[in-house]
């Protein structure tokens, strides 16, 4: 798939991957073997009939192809861009055994963009059931659950705490990987299906879950995500210029601080930026920092390249753009200038030992190997934990020791009747598509629950 | 959209807005705050709730016009609207019968303190209130405070009214006993009062107002060190034990974006400061 050249794209926030043309999409679709027992479908958390939509592309029936995708997945323009297909559908593809698997994600993106550009999507209204469901959080899990529930004829209100819908898609993933107009269009599609979205509504404070159930709704789906940033708990961590990845990305993505002062929210990026961590959020942060004008951007990670949790494609993009990987390195302390801004970061070299319970080799510090790095911005991207507000304000809702909500994997059913949950709030930080899969399963379970309540 | 019902200028550059927000009004409690975004390109800023009216469905907040967003807010009029208001946010204040409570407020934070004083009185406390400002002309809510407090003292930095500075508090605390102190105002004032109250062993709650973005626990910019531990003002606070807060760090973190804030403010004034700008 064509991409913007690294030397150009590292100075702009436009989308890096440019997408297939119709001819390119058809050529890719023609490679598909149309297996009688397709393996790819088993790798898809939302069960898209992959060979069917690829066949329709091959036949140039693009409108039909997108309909086929949307039968199973309400947010294809998003999934086509941010799903880790290489670990899911494409990993199962027979063609991958002999060479390159079919680029299913890029084909999904192609049909979704095709429809978005043409504006052809048709919506058929369902017979109303008279049941009302509240969806808490307008991220991937919530939007998917809402779409499925309205398709089944239920009335759905989505409550979103921020001022725009999309959750991590709008505040977390940068414009150059997922343009915000795409997120807005997908959220708009869910609205056109019939769901309504109330922004600025922090559930737990504005209304509690029990209040929603008593006053207005027959069931509730909680998809509030893993929104709380983790810090390193190191000395000097509260110095200026040290951001959580969440703060940095919220400023840049949701608040558009790259366009400051036209947009009011400021961001300050120095010349030497260190991003701590090596997941997708770390790659997003590093590449955003580069685009905001940093001279040198480091990824500082305590293990080696093989253990990096980010998608291979994102690591490759970061490398192409000139991000420097300082591996087997861990920060230990931050030092500031007289104004309270970070100036140096003390690090220690690490070595890998035995394999731990996560299946990765455990890092340990090399004694006496401390050294100083000159930095003026540090972005901490070492993971996020569940937002605790709902758990703190909902009596009887069982949680785990990690603060996630206890819910059945296949249904999202929680310890409270009529309350379902899915996505990162249940699993801890995971992927967009897994959250969507959970939203979909919960919607089915809620549908059954509502039918049994008649 | 949240429509402005009432606008008042309480002192130079200190303004009050009462906005239509019935859901928030129904849920608000003393000590909580809202986050607002003035317009489509606006930033998210926190403001402590100064009052709420469940019957009218309104929420009131008071602010000092110091930066771009507060100046822009101040340029709005009755009938205009604010695009986004989220709230009520933060943990409500603990309101119960403590006995004798000392409430100290400074600047615009006197307004939300008034809400607490009222609630503390209704809970059966004897409340002595101290209100302060840089000078007499900037002092707000004096009459309102007199109505709800058992006793009111006035302090100014320049001595133009009442006591000059907070030294008199030491005498007051020597003469009278208090079971709790509530302090809301500029960091330096909260630090001074907390130091004094500590030497008299009076449990003291301060309300911190650091920079916030989402205000819901997501970004961590509002982190405050309390008793050596990092807390998020938005979800763990905004009230903390005044004897445990690292005020020096708090001041530094409040000033992190001062150059950008100045630039933003200048940029806005260059564009007409709300008078001529097309919106």
The tokens describing A329, both together, are 């390195």
- B69 and B101 co-located in one domain: no
Confidence of residue A120 (pLDDT cuts 50, 70, 90): low
pTM assigned to the model: 0.93
Same domain, B52 and B132: no
Q: Considering only CA atoms, which of B39, B50, B48 is closest in space to residue B80? A: B39
Give the whole-angstrom CA distance, residue B132 versus residue B134: 7
Cβ distance of A202 and B86 shorter than 8 Å: yes
Same domain, B85 and B176: no
Reported as a pLDDT band with limits 50, 70 and 90, residue A121 is low
Beta partners for residue B101, in sequence order: B127, B180
Say if B245 falls within a structural domain.
no
Last residue of a domain, one of B90, B123, B141: B90
Containing domain of residue B189, as a range?
Answer: 93-203
Task: Report the distance separating Cα A278 and Cα A289, nearest Å.
Answer: 15
Residues contacting B107, CB < 8 A, separation 6+? B64, B132, B133, B134, B138, B185, B186
* Average per-residue pLDDT for chain A: 93
> Same domain, yes or no, for B100 and B197?
yes
Mean pLDDT value across residues A62-83: 91
Per-chain mean pLDDT for chain B: 93
Domain end marker among B75, B90, B105: B90
Query: B13 to chain A nearest CA, in Å?
Result: 20
Report pLDDT for A454: 66
What is the distance between the terminal CA atoms of chain B, rounded to a whole angstrom? Answer: 15
Residue B42 in any domain: the answer is yes
The better pLDDT of the pair A82, A406 is held by A406
Query: What pLDDT sits at residue B276?
Result: 46
**Closest residue on chain A to B40 (Cα):** A263
Average pLDDT for A432-447? 94
Count Cβ neighbours within 10 Å for each residue of A391-416 and write b for 16 or more, e otherwise. bebbeebebeeebbbebeeebbbbeb
- Give the highest mean pLDDT range of A63-72, A117-126, A243-252, B254-263: A243-252
B211 domain residue, yes or no: no
**Interfacial residues of A (vs B; Cβ cutoff 8 Å):** 161-163, 171, 199-202, 205-207, 227-229, 231, 233, 237-238, 240, 243-244, 246-247, 250-251, 255-256, 260-266, 268, 339-340, 387-389
B167 and B105 part of one domain: yes
Indicate whether B155 and B70 sit together in one domain: no
Query: Is B161 a member of any domain?
Result: yes
pLDDT at residue B279 in the model: 41
List CB contacts (< 8 A) between B85 and chain A.
200
pLDDT, tens digit (0-9, with 9 covering 90-100), for B94-115:
999 999 999 999 999 999 999 9
Does residue B233 sit within a domain? no
Contact A265 B256 (CB under 8 A): no
Q: Is 60 exceeded by the pLDDT of residue A184?
A: yes
Report the pLDDT value the prediction gives residue A119, as an integer from 0 to 100: 75
Has residue B126 been placed in a domain? yes
Which residues of chain B make contact with A167, given a CB cutoff of 8 A? none
Last residue within a domain, chosen from B169, B203, B237: B203
Q: For residue A340, give both structure tokens.
A: 């309270």
Can you tell me the mean pLDDT for A105-116? 93
Q: How many domains does chain B have?
A: 2
Residue B217 belongs to some domain of the structure: no
CA distance A92 to A39: 5
Task: Give the pLDDT mean for A403-407.
Answer: 94
Determine which of B72, B217, B234 to mutate to test the interface with A (most A C-beta atoms within 10 Å).
B217
Report phi then psi at B13, rounded to 5: 65, 5
Torsion angle, CA of A269/A270/A275/A280, rounded to 10 degrees?
40
Same domain, B81 and B53: yes
Whether residue B80 sits in one domain with residue B15: yes
Query: Is B217 close to A387, i.e. CB distance below 8 A?
Result: yes
Q: Do A261 and B43 touch (CB under 8 A)?
A: no
Q: What is the pLDDT of residue A415?
A: 95
Give the ranges where A138-224 is alpha helix by DSSP (H).
140-151, 168-171, 180-193, 209-215
Q: Is the pLDDT at A122 greater than 80, yes or no?
A: no
The pLDDT of residue A63: 92
CB A203 within 8 A of CB A212: yes
% of residues, chain A, pLDDT over 70: 99
- Percentage of chain B modeled with pLDDT above 70: 98
Contact status, residue B160 vs residue B34, Cβ threshold 8 Å: no
Least Cα separation, residue B172 to chain A (angstroms): 36
pLDDT of residue B278: 43
At residue A21 the predicted structure's pLDDT band, cuts being 50, 70 and 90, is very high
The answer to the question of residue B79 being in a domain is yes
- Least confident among A51-65, A122-136, A286-300: A122-136
B42, B137: one domain? no
**Per-residue pLDDT averaged across A75-95, rounded?**
90
The token pair at B63 is: 């602010």
Q: How many CB pairs below 8 Å do chains A and B form together? A: 118
pLDDT digits (tens, 9 = 90+) for A149-159: 999 999 999 99
Same domain, B127 and B35: no
Q: Flag the least confident range among A108-122, A198-212, B142-156, B173-187.
A: A108-122
Does any CB of chain A come closer than 8 Å to the CB of residue B111?
A: no
Give the integer Cα–Cα distance in Å for B200 and B191.
15
B57 CB near a chain A CB, below 8 Å?
no
Residue B183 shares a structural domain with residue B112? yes
Best of A203, A265, A270, A384 to substitute, by most chain B Cβ atoms within 10 angstroms, is A265
| B75 & B102 share domain | no
Residue B48 sits in a domain whose CATH number is 2.40.30.10
CATH number at residue B147: 3.40.50.80
The pLDDT confidence band at residue B277, using thresholds 50, 70 and 90, is very low
| B45: helix, strand or coil | strand
**What percentage of chain B exceeds 90 in pLDDT?**
89
Q: Are A441 and A421 in contact (CB under 8 A)?
A: no
ipTM value: 0.93
- Binning chain B into helix, strand and coil, the percentages to the nearest 5 are 30, 30, 40
Nearest CA in chain A to B248: A340
β-strand partners of A346: A333, A372
Q: Do A206 and B23 touch (CB under 8 A)?
A: yes
Q: Chain A contact for B260, CB < 8 A?
A: yes
Instruction: Please tell me the predicted confidence (pLDDT) of residue A230.
Output: 94
pLDDT digits (tens, 9 = 90+) for A419-430: 999 999 999 988
């Amino acid at each position: 798939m064509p991409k913007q050249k690294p030397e150009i794209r590292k100075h702009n926030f436009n989308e890096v991957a440019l997408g297939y043309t119709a001819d390119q999409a058809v050529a890719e679709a023609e490679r598909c073997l149309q297996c009688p027992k397709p393996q790819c479908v088993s790798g898809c958390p939302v069960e898209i009939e992959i060979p069917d939509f690829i066949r329709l592309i091959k036949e140039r029936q693009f409108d039909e192809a997108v309909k086929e995708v949307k039968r199973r997945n309400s947010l294809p323009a998003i999934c086509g861009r941010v799903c880790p297909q290489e670990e899911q559908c494409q990993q199962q593809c027979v063609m991958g055994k002999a060479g390159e698997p079919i680029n299913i994600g890029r084909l999904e993106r192609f049909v979704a963009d095709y429809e978005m550009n043409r504006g052809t999507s048709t919506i058929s209204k369902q017979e109303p059931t008279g049941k009302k469901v509240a969806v808490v959080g307008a991220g991937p899990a919530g939007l998917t659950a809402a779409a499925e529930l309205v398709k089944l004829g239920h009335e759905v209100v989505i409550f979103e705490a921020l001022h725009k819908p999309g959750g991590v898609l709008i505040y977390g993933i940068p414009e150059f990987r997922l343009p915000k107009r795409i997120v807005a269009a997908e959220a708009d599609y869910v609205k056109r299906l019939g769901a309504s979205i109330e922004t600025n509504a922090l559930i737990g404070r504005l209304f509690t879950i029990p209040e929603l159930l008593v006053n207005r709704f027959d069931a509730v789906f909680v998809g509030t995500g893993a929104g709380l940033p983790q810090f390193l708990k190191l000395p000097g961590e509260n110095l200026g210029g040290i951001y959580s990845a969440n703060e940095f990305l919220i400023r840049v993505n949701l608040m558009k601080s790259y366009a400051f002062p036209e947009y009011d929210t400021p961001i300050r990026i120095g010349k030497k930026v260190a991003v701590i961590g090596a997941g997708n959020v770390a790659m997003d942060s590093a590449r955003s920092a580069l685009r905001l004008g940093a001279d040198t951007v480091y990824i500082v990670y305590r293990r080696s390249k093989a253990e990096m949790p980010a998608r291979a494609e994102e690591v490759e993009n970061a490398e192409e753009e000139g991000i420097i990987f300082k591996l087997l390195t861990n920060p230990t302390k931050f030092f500031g200038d007289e104004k309270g801004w970070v100036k140096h970061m003390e690090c220690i070299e690490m070595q890998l030992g035995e394999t731990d319970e996560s299946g990765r080799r455990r890092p340990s510090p090399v004694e006496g190997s401390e050294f100083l790095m000159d930095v003026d911005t540090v972005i901490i991207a070492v993971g996020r934990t569940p937002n605790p507000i709902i758990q703190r304000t909902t009596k009887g809702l069982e949680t785990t020791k990690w603060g996630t909500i206890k819910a059945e994997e296949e249904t999202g059913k929680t310890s409270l009747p009529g309350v379902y949950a899915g996505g990162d709030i249940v699993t801890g930080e995971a992927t967009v598509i897994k959250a969507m899969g959970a939203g979909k399963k919960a919607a089915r379970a809620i549908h059954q629950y509502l039918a049994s309540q008649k | 959209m949240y429509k402005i019902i009432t606008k008042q200028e309480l002192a130079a550059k200190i303004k009050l807005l009462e906005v239509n927000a019935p859901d928030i009004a129904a849920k608000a409690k003393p000590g909580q705050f809202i986050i607002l975004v003035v317009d489509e390109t606006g930033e998210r800023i926190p403001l402590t709730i100064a009052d709420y009216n469940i019957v009218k469905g309104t929420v009131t907040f008071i602010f000092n016009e110091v930066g771009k967003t507060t100046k822009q807010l101040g340029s709005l009029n009755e009938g205009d609207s604010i695009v986004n208001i989220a709230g009520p946010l933060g943990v409500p204040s603990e309101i119960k019968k403590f006995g004798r409570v000392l409430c100290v407020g400074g600047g615009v934070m006197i307004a939300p303190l008034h809400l607490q004083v009222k609630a503390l009185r209704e809970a059966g406390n004897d409340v002595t209130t101290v209100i302060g400002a840089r000078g007499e002309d900037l002092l707000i809510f004096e009459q309102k405070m007199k109505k709800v407090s058992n006793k009111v003292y006035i302090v100014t930095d320049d001595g133009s009214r009442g006591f000059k500075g907070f030294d008199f508090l030491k005498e007051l605390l020597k003469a009278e006993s208090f079971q709790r102190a509530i302090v809301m105002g500029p960091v330096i004032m909260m630090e001074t009062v907390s130091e004094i109250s500590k030497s008299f062993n009076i449990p003291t709650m301060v309300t911190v107002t650091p920079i916030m973005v989402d205000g819901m626990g997501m970004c961590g910019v509002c982190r405050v060190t309390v008793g050596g531990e990092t807390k998020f003002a938005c979800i763990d606070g905004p009230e903390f034990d005044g004897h445990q807060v690292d005020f020096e760090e708090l001041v530094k973190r409040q000033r992190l974006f001062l150059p950008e804030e100045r630039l933003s403010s200048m940029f806005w004034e260059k564009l007409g400061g709300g008078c001529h700008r097309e919106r």
